[in-house]
Every structure is written in C-alpha cells, then in structure tokens.
Structure 1
Amino acid sequence: MDIPALELQIKTLPNQPGVYQYFDKEGTIIYVGKAKNLKKRVSSYFTKTHDSGKTRVLVKKIAKIKHIVVDTETDALLLENNLIKKHKPRYNVMLKDDKSYPWICIKNERFPRVFSTRRVIKGGGDYYGPYTSVKTVHTLLELIRGLYSLRTCNYQLSEEKIEAGKFKVCLEYHLGNCKGACEGLETELEYNENIKAIKQILKGNFKDSLHQFKRQMRGFAEHMQFEEAQKMKEKIEVLENYQAKSTIVNPKISNVDVFSIVSDESYGYINFLQLSYGSIIRSHTLELKKRLDESDKELLELGITEIRQRFHSNSKEIYVPFKVYLGENIKVTVPKLGDKKHILDLSVRNAKYFRMERFKQIKIVDPDRHTNRIMAQMKADLRLNDEPRHIECFDNSNIQGTHPVAACVVFKNGKPSKKDYRHFNIKTVEGPDDFASMEEVVYRRYKRMMEEGRSLPQLIIIDGGKGQLSSALKSLEALNIRGKIAIIGIAKRLEELFYPNDPIPLYLDKKSETLKIIQQLRNEAHRFGIEHHRNKRSKSALSTEMETINGVGEKTVVELLKHFKSAKRVARAKLDELEEVVGRSRAEKVYNYYNNK
C-alpha cells in the first residue's frame, strides 16, 4: 500500500475507543495498540517526532492499518492484550511491556496452586486475564480461597514423596485453609474437582459463588456481624461489576464466529469477529458489490462462506442478525438480549464504521462514485423515477408580515450550486400569505426557465406541509409541467415528507444521507431567504427618514451611516463633520434638516 493510501486510511479513522493493528508490506502484524480515540492516537505516530529509534523504525515499516471499534477504554485494554497474546507482534515486545497487567494462574502441577502473577510462562499452567484491576484479582482469589481449601506451599507433591512421608502439614492445615494433601489427607481426585469448579469461576460462571456470598452476607447480618456482612457486600459488588463490564473477554461466549451486515444500494459490508475461549482474536470486514440487487440474506450467506474459508474457521456456532442457512453442521443463533446481543451489536458497529470510512475515502479519491451512490440512494429512498441530479428548494420569509420575500436554492449532484440561487420579492400578494406567495414564486421561476430554454430540475422541495405543496402544484399545472418534475414538501416539526395526492407522509431514517441532504437544502433555503429579508428591512429602515430630506439619496445615507455608525450620530454631527463625508451642499441639507427640527 502506497503512502497516499495509508494517509487516506488515517484521515478516515473514527474518533472512537478501540484497538489498532499495524501491518508491514508482507501483511505481517507488527504492532497492536489501544486508544481512547483511534484517529488521534494513530495520527500521532505519523505527525510527531519520536525520540525512540525503535518507534521511528516501526513507523517506517507500517504499510497497512486495521482497527476494531469497542465501547470503552477498558474493553480496548482487554482486547489489546488478547491480540498481543494471539499474534505476538514483533514491536510489542520492544515498545510495550505486555506483562504489566495481572493474571490468575492455575499452576500446571500435581495439586495445582492458584495465584496471581504478572508473568505468563508458556506451559506453566492455565492463565486467566489479563485483568485491568488488581482489586478484582484479589477479590477473585479471596472468593476462591473462601470457597475451596487449596494449598499455598510450593512443595513438589509427587506421589512417591507423599508416600515416603517427606512433608508435614503446616499452620494452614490447622487453620482449616488446607486439607493436608502433603500428608495424603486429601486425594488428587477431590482436589481436582475443586480446581474444575475454580476454572468455571474464572471463566465467568459466578452464579453459584455469588449465591453463596449473598447467603454468607445475610448470615453475618442476622448475627449482627455487620463489618463481615459489609465485606461480603463489597466482594459481591466488585464481582458483579466485573461480570457486567467484561464484554471483550466474556467466558460465556466461546469458540463462536459473529457476523453482521450493513448495506446500501450498491454494496454490502460484512463484519466478522472470531471469538476463542471468550476473547476476540480476529476482526475483518468484507465489502461485496451488488450485481442483481441481492438481499442482505443472500449477501450474508455468501460472505460468511467466503470469510470462514479464508480464515479456516471451524466454529460450530455463529451469531447473526437474522436467520441464514449454512448447512446442517453449523448452529445459527440470532441473539436478542444480553452479552450475545452485545457482541453482535459490536460487530454491527464495526461494519458501520468500515462503511463510513470507505465513503470518506471514496469522497476524496473518487468523488464521482460517491456522487453516483448518493444519487442512487436518494432515488430509492424518495421513490423517484430519475436520480435527482438537479434539486431546487423553495422557502418563504415574511417576518411579522413585512417585506415578503422567497428564496430558491439549487443543489447539483448533491452539492450547493450557489451561482444558481435566486431571491424573489413577492409582487402579486398583499399581506402575509404563504400559500399564495409560494404559488407566485414557483410559477415565476419555471416560467422564466422554460422561456430561456434551461433544463428543469428532477426534484422540487417545498419547505412546508400540504398547503404549500398544493400551492406549488397549481403553478406546475398552470405551466403544464406537473408530470415532468417530482415535487415533495417537508414539514419542519417531524421531518415529514409529503407527496402530491398522498395523505400519509413518508418518514426517513433520521441518520439517512437522503434526509441529511434534504435538511441541508431546507436550511440553506431558509438562511438565504432570511438574509435577503434582513437586507430589505435594513434598506427600508435606512431610507425612512434621511431619504425624505430633499436632495439626499440612498448613496448619501449609506456614506453617512458608514462613517457615523448610527442615525443619531448623524443628527448630532456638526456641519464641518458632515462636510468631510458628503461635501458642503449635501452636508448643509442634512444639518439644516435636523437643526430646524
């Protein structure tokens, strides 16, 4: 990937928390990092001067960037560690200490010990974590030790040594914290049953343990042991808090593929999250170009098959937003609530962000494709026969019934064409009558365009409800062009779109690009109309008194107001001050007028 393409990727990153991955030109992942704001963090690598030589080398080797959007910084922290653990990127070893977060280890030995550590040793045992809070680790260990009797000594408890009587029970045995496995007082089978239960706790199955804690808390409270009850309550709160926020490392979701789809008129975007042992280990988004107006179901089935083959996935269960058929051997789950739905929503968010970034990139490097997509989308959303390449929007402005004016703004290919904007002073309507004013300006606008042989728009938007729309239709009928131009009205309150002869309005998705363009047109027409109205009122105000002075015109009034800033100051000015601005003759007329008053 060349440098401009890399810069394009950086420009279109989202301002969201997440994890970023750097790849070299061979496609090897070389660095994984977390960010509170992906765009700011990744941009900083390329805009700052780095003191570390290792960082400068890393930046030179970056050829491609991938990212995964998550909900919180904590999720980003956990996901970062999972990806580092999975991929072991070269530069994470040099640039980041990935052992700085605590883990819980179940030692790989006879009568395993359970303890916290910051060092992960391959083959040393089963590791759970990393955890972002040391308090959570301590609470988990206290929970485990409160429920199960485990050894804490570091003896090598081989069968031969125990039979030979090499060890003696320690104080922990006499305190009831250990059952004396070192003297053969506890069998390996009994001990390992406890270890199995502990592994379930560490995987997130807190149900039985929390129930026991709550029972203990109630028991302490009943016996008036409120300090002990408070300690139990704090442990319960910490564990429930940990369980609720553990989205990325969720032990309930194991060895599952998650797929979601976001689509538009031309493309489908399928996001894939691969989960192994409760952790996201891969994220990928596939872009599919539609050929025959395929449905989301068809695209998703095709995309799932392609992605699973590409990444050699053998998961027996997948999460999807709706039912798809992938054969008898794959369990298809459509989550509705809870953590499963949350992880599916996370996949949807990543698909949406990928789509947004592609739109931003296309807008920069291929504006024609971006325009074509927008036009096709508007045609479909608004149920038009033709793409609205040329749109005109009308708005009336008559504040307190004075100086009625109207504005017409023009968008071509989805963008303002300001040279084509037009103001209208209402000529045939007396008083504030929005309906009659709309009828007049629409008639005048298109009568002139037809006389001049100019091409008519594909779409007219009327800022107003059914009344203004009906008035505009009268003018199109009078000009015999009603069937040639699509026309709709937009009501301000609920963003309702009205069509001729249809009493039921159309409601577009509040986030749709079509509605955003219509709102932009409406707002631009309103701004342009108000600006003209304000200018008319200002001009009228200026001409009210000073222009009644015999021999003083608009130009003189403007010059005086520019210099003196207000009519009051003009009235109080001395003759020589006035003369400096407008000359002797006109100065005398103004001076005499105000002084004679």
Structure 2
Amino acid sequence: MAADSQYGPMSSPAPDAPHSEQLLAEVAALPGLPGVYRYFDAQDQLLYVGKARNLKKRVSSYFQKNHDGTRIGHMVSRIVRMETTVVRTEAEALLLENNLIKTLNPKFNILFRDDKSYPYLKITGTRETFRTAGTKPLPMLAFPRMAYYRGVVDRRHSYYGPYPSAWAVKETITLLQKVFRLRTCEDTVFANRTRPCLLYQIKRCTGPCVDLIDTEAYGRDVADAERFLRGETQEVLDALQARMMAHAEKLEFEQAAEIRNQMSALSRVLQQQAMDNLSDKDVDVLAVKVLGGRACVNLAMVRGGRHLGDRPYFPAHVEDATQIDEALESEAESSPATDPMERVHVRVLEAFIAQHYLGAALPHTLVTSHPVSRTLMEALTEQNGAKVHTVHQPREHRRAWLDMAQKNAEIALARLLAEEGSQQARTRALAEALGLPDDNLDELRIECFDISHTAGESTQASCVVFEAHKMQNSQYRRYNIDGITPGDDFAAMRQVLLRRYGKIAEALRAEQGVAPEATAGAVDVPAGAADTPEPAAEVAGEAPKGPRMPDLVLVDGGKGQVSMAREVFQQLGLDLSLIVGVEKGEGRKVGLEELVFADGREKVYLGHDSAALMLVAQIRDEAHRFAITGMRAQRAKVRTGGSKLEDIPGVGPKKRARLLQRFGGVRGVAAASVEDLSTVEGISAELADAIYRALH
C-alpha cells in the first residue's frame, strides 16, 4: 500500500539562489525507501517525475551537487515544491512513475504519446453462442461475423490483436474469408437477405444468411478460424485432414473436395510470408534508434505466428531527460550500459516499454534491440500475471524480425528529421519574408482564422495554431457565429476576432496599468483534436493560456477581411502589424496567393516556389479544413434536428420524418404554429401542442 507525502507550494527562489529552507528540510527528512518523487515550479507546473530505490539518496543528489550550466541545473533551479510517494518495491515505483508520466506529461521526462488507437479483429457472439449450452441463439448470433473493430471490448465477443494498422486487420479478414469463408455482413443485412450476395458467388462466404450452411458446420469454421488466429495452424490442418478423410470413407466426395480446397488455400496462406514462423505465436519486436536529439522506437507485431507489420513511435523531451539522467549516472540504480549513447538508447527503450504496456495486455515475449533492466521486466510480469521474457540477442527468424525492425526505425527517424528540417526552413523563410523576430523560431506562434457556412447556414469560424514548427491541434478552437446576417463573412470575422482577443487585450492593458475598456466577451469553443468533426459546446470565460498574443495573425481573405480585422485590433488597442491576409491570386490558383497587410504595407507576392508561401498555404488550408468539418457537422445536426424531435414523447422516427419533410428541417418545424403541425399525418392536436412547447 503506497503512502503519499505532499508538501504545499512555496515562494520561488531566484534562478541561482539556494532553495528554501523548508524544501531542503523536507529533502533531509525523506526515508531511505523505494518511491516516486515529483518536482513542481512556481507556477505549479510539473517538471519531472522520477523513481528511486532509495528516495533520500536519490532526491538529495539533486540538491547537494553543483549542476550549473546543465539541463539538470536549469530544472533544479526552478523547483519550489515536491511530492513523494513511498511504495513497497522498486517495481511498484517504476509502474507508478510511468503511470504519472503518461497522465501528467512532465516537462523533463521522456514522453511517448498515449496511443489507444490499435485496431482489433472481432468475431461476434462466439463466447455467448458456442459456450452457452441448451439455448438456441438468434440467427445472427448462430452465425458469427468477422469485423474490423476499435474501442472498448465486449465480453460477449472474441477479439484478436492488437494489429499495428487497419490494413493488417483487413488483410487478415480477407485471408480468413478465402480459407474459412465466414460472413462479414452487418446483422441488419444478414436478417433481410433473400438470396446469396456476391461474396458467396466468389467463394468468400458460405451463405448462412439464406441457410446454405447449417449452424454446426459454420461453427466448425468459426472454431478453426479462431484457432488459426491463435497460431494453432498445424492443429487446424490436422482437423481438416481428418474431416476430409472421413467424408472420403463415406464416399462423400464433394464434401471431401471442399475441405481439400480449404486446406490448399490455408497452405498457400502459410507460405505467403517468409517472415512467418509458427513456433512463435505472439511476439513484439522493439528496435530503438537515436539521432540528432530525436529518437524512434519501432514496434513490430507477431500475432498467431504471422508478422503483421510495424509502427514507429517518436518520444518527446529525449535530450532533456537523458542529460538529467546522465548527471545522476553515479547512482547504483543507473543503466549497466557503459557507452553513453548506448545508455540513451536503453533509457528510451525502457521508457517506451513501461509507458506502452502499462495497464495493457502484452505478449509473453519481447525481442529488443538493447538489454532492458530486470526491474522493469519484474514489474511487467507482476502486472501481467505471467512471466514476460525478453530476448536481446535473438537468432534465426527472430534475428530477421529484429533486423527488419531496426532498419524501419532508422528509415522512420531519417524521414522525421528531414521533415522537421524542412519545416524549420519554412518557418525561418516566413520570418525573414515578413520581418518577424528570428532569434527564437521555436516559439514563433501563428494563428489563422477562416469562416465557413453553406448559404449562410451553420456559420462557424475556426482558429488553428502553428507553433514550435508544427500545427498544434490541441490548441485549435471553433466558434459558433450567431447574431449576424446570414452569409456576412465580415461580421463573422469581426465576432470571432473580438471573442478570441478581447480578454487577451484586457489582460495586456491590466499588465501595463491601463484602465480596461468594455470589449466583447471572448468565449473559446474547445474542439479537441483536429480530426474530430463535431464542434464542442461553448465554455464561458475560457481564453488562451496567459496574455500571449501570437506573432502573426493570418486571415483567409483579401482587403475586406483585413479591413475588418484592422477595425477590431484598433478597437482593442492591439498591434496592426500582426495582421496578414491571404488573398487568392489570379484564377484562384494555388501558388499565386498574395499577402495583404493591415498596417498599410504594399501587397507581397512571395513566389510559387517560396518556402514561406508553402508554410502560409499549409496553415491557411488547415484552417479551411478545420472550419469546414465543424460547419458540416453543425449543419447536419441542424438539418436532422439532432435529438430534439426524437426526445419528444409520442414522436417516433416516422412522425419525425413526416415533420421534417413537410417543413424542410427542424427550423421549419420550430417556426410552424400548432395548427400547422396538426395538419401533418399522425400528429394530433395534443401532440402538436407538445411539439410546439418542446421547441420553444
């Protein structure tokens, strides 16, 4: 049982001043037990999470040594508060450390993005149908289907994977269709078929929807498919051969021929990949490559004896975390590797293993490019409930797997470095072209706005953010635009800029000691990830963190949009030189865009092959994409009425469809009177009154 010891916030010392007496006293009072420690700065931001076999010895080493001029010195100078948790074993400390790293995102730890998007292959209803005796399931349950699946698992179904990509799942489904001919159709389609579909005609399905196979025979195919997915291929072949011989002895040659063809298809599948090896059923192969301050861990997956592909992962904060660890290398807990570069590789690999498999199922064998600590494997074994083995110097087919994973890690890292170099060059080119400060391009921040609607319906504005040489999709915002004439893009731009920068302007004036003026309220609409099309509900009072204005504000439009932006910035007392409009060129062709300035400068054409224009176009196009996805989702919600009509008692799907058809949408229904509503077939006067009151 872990015990927490938390200490309150303290005043921030100067960067080169000694730490507070209270903090040092707390360090001195720490026990010599295993545990986890967390460091916080004056703004209560988490700086670092670490684990220790001996808390007192490890934490004291940060404050007793001189770390001036190093990354650890920079971090230690910012520490004003710490928290510690004492645990029973070092393995517990390691698991807790990585759980905190994953959930709290500390600034100086190696951090892998938490990826829960692995797909699975699902076979529906097998647990319920074939393990429950004495009941007759529904036809859809009696004939389970294969499906591609992401999400929370359901105990009624069987899941196989995870797979490294959607392609790997779909390839496996195609393979199983060829060999075992299981259905893939939705239950609604299955229940309404009157004749076999095309998949039956091309021998990819046995036609259970029209009773061309009985449940017993189909159940055998399902069981064989599941054994194949578990890697029991030889057992499947033996069972098929026994069934074929039994049919031949009974002179049932057609059935025997069918099974023979099934065995031939399975044999061809097993010979398709030279990388397959049936002695290894579930194995993960991990290779790490570190270069240029960046790292890549390539994860290759073997499931059921089949090599399914791989996926690269790129951690953050590699340089900071490894240099901090280097400063503490004299501790007994340090890595056994002697070469500094090898130690970096080991740390990155161990961080990935701990964070990736924390709280998740993992195979019993890991093949790794570098040796990992015994403590980490003990922790994973304790979590998994079964022994987890690691193989550092594999042979035969495992060596081939590892060599391939290492090569893929090198290729992925080289591609990342090339892309980052190109993006940084674009950022520098834009800064030079527009006269922006270029002393710290990593902090250059650009915000871009776009307006989207359909004939004035469901108007939305988007704001996307470019910072640290990449799009920051977690900082994207959507704004629902109301109270304007439909289709008035200028009014929409005015509203979104007032809402975006109104509170920032107030905060800046307060910092400068200027009396705040009344401005339109800034209401941010968090929209989550850029790939999420649904706009989120508005959150009153939320604004960008801190009074930070971007270094550049891009608006998608020419003189008209720029003039509106200039009026807003003049009203708010903000710098007009920040505003740049992206005006379409002749024929609206890509590469001919011109930049329009709010401070009176002449228009600028950067050239179709300009790196600066490429960056501007990238940001502008992302703002346009983000606005359109939100607008389309909002429009669909308005046109279907969302759940407003369906939530009214007495209005089912048919009545809802009649209402929408008669009045052209939920707005038309809301605008209709009780008398008009009652003229729709199936809508009584009482129900019409209930609908009117519900929509008003």
TM-score by length of 1: 0.31
Structure 1 or 2: more helix by fraction: 1
Work out which of the two has the higher radius of gyration on C-alpha atoms and give 1 or 2: 1
